[in-house]
Amino acid sequence: MSKNIRVGIAGAGFAAKFHLENYPECGVEVVGVTSSRRERRETFAEGHGVKAYASVEAMLPDIDLLDICTPPSSHRDYILAAASAGKHVIVEKPLTGFFGSPEEHSKAHMLERVREQARMLRETVTNAGVTLCYAENFVYAPSVQKEREIIEKSKAQILRLVGEESHNGSHSPVYGIWSIQGGGSLIAKGCHPLGAILYLKRKEGLARSGRPIRPAAVTARTHSITRLPGFEDRGFLRTTYQDTEDYSFIHVVFEDGTVADVTASELVLGGIYDFVEVFANNHRARCRMSPVNVLDVYNPSHEQFKDLYLVEKISSNEGWIPASPEEGWSLGYGHELRDFIRAIRENRPPESDIDLAIDTTLTLYAGYVSADQEGKQVAVPLE
Ligand SMILES: NC(=O)c1ccc[n+]([C@@H]2O[C@H](COP(=O)([O-])OP(=O)(O)OC[C@H]3O[C@@H](n4cnc5c(N)ncnc54)[C@H](O)[C@@H]3O)[C@@H](O)[C@H]2O)c1
């Protein structure tokens, strides 16, 4: 595709904003935005000089690429609508999920339905001949990309990986509702370190034997700590989780018998806590997404820095702050969008593609099945 790529963004919230901010260096034309709430789409459109559309369907004829930044329960339908219209897709994490009540459906039922959806999405995208780009920014963090290069060039064997994504709770008003998010910390936050971990094991396998190493089985636990009767709320952590967990842990066993451990929670103060650590047979690496440890700022009074942005999700700008001078760079957002646009132009899969999206989603839902049985090992149904 050599012509100018016209992008339409679905959603006008947090993710839509950081996608839009990272498009300028991609050489695309952001045409418009849509959001289910009229006021939000019009304010967003006006603020960024793009057109507001009443719906995805109304926007599709004017674009080549739909960038889905809406809550997870809408991802599947928007992917199908875009692919059916012959448009490429960027989809925020998670790819999809099960959006019914956890009170009414077993986790095994959820896993089976998600597996069917994954199969159907892959078929639809493949048959339509469009590219699906899975917006897992951890894959594109410079630290993870450097580690990928080390693994490939040194033919490293990864023996063990550890990762985490945690903070004090999402800003989104619809977070914490299973029927909209498809789960809690495990899917919404665990997807990030797990995505990078599955990506690095794929790359190791390709470098060493020409085939990716994929997840085989999981053991997981989930907990709702802020809903414990004894939890003392001091007002610093978000607590409004309707029917989702706020703490999760998943242990992954890969096809080659090596392992990974991922923690994801809403219980961590002090800003975003995101990292992936690699223990290999020839080296060790710690990939930091946040904090990145490049600029520590000391501020004796919150008041004087109250309008300054220093780093995501700290509640105060007072004291020592692990500032992130360029989050779009350290969290991989800019690299991600540039790879997506190049992949579409070059008609090749992006680094973070539909296969990674499906493996990540099915591994996490297998994790929910395990957590329901207090950590019994469950096989990951690969598609
Ligand atoms: N990669 C990351 O670091 C990251 C960070 C935050 C969120 N996300 C993902 O981005 C997506 C959006 O999350 P967010 O934090 O921006 O949420 P948000 O609540 O801030 O914004 C969601 C936007 O979508 C609109 N919307 C809701 N339902 C819609 C529908 N059916 N059709 C059209 N518009 C609809 C809302 O009005 C709002 O404008 C989620 O999939 C989330 O998991 C990714």
User: Residue 296 — very low, low, confident or very high, per pLDDT cuts 50/70/90?
Assistant: very high
Taking residues 147-156, report their average pLDDT.
Answer: 98
Q: CA torsion angle for 101, 251, 187, 340 (degrees, to 10)?
A: -150
The model's pLDDT over 315-350, given as tens digits with 9 standing for 90+, comes to: 889 999 999 999 999 999 999 999 999 999 999 999
Domains of the chain: 6-136 (3.40.50.720), 138-335+361-379 (3.30.360.10)
Structure confidence by residue, pLDDT tens digits, 124-150: 999 999 999 999 999 999 999 999 999
Distance 303 CA to ligand 1 centre (A): 31
For residue 1, pLDDT beyond 70: no
Over range 275-301, report the average pLDDT: 96
Least Cα distance to 247 among 178, 331, 188, 288 occurs for: 188
**Cα–Cα nearest to 88, from 178, 13, 179, 3:** 3
Beta strand pairing call for 158-166 and 259-265: parallel
What is d(CA 322, CA 311) in angstroms, rounded to the nearest whole number? Answer: 7
Give the distance (Å) from ligand 1 centre to CA of residue 319.
Answer: 32
Mutate to test the pocket of ligand 1, among 172, 289, 327, 340 (most ligand atoms within 8 A of CB): 172
Ligand 1 neighbours, Cβ below 6 Å, are 10-16, 34-37, 40, 69-72, 74, 92-93, 135, 137, 172, 174, 188
Tell me the average pLDDT across 354-378: 98
Statement: the pTM of the whole predicted model exceeds 0.85: yes
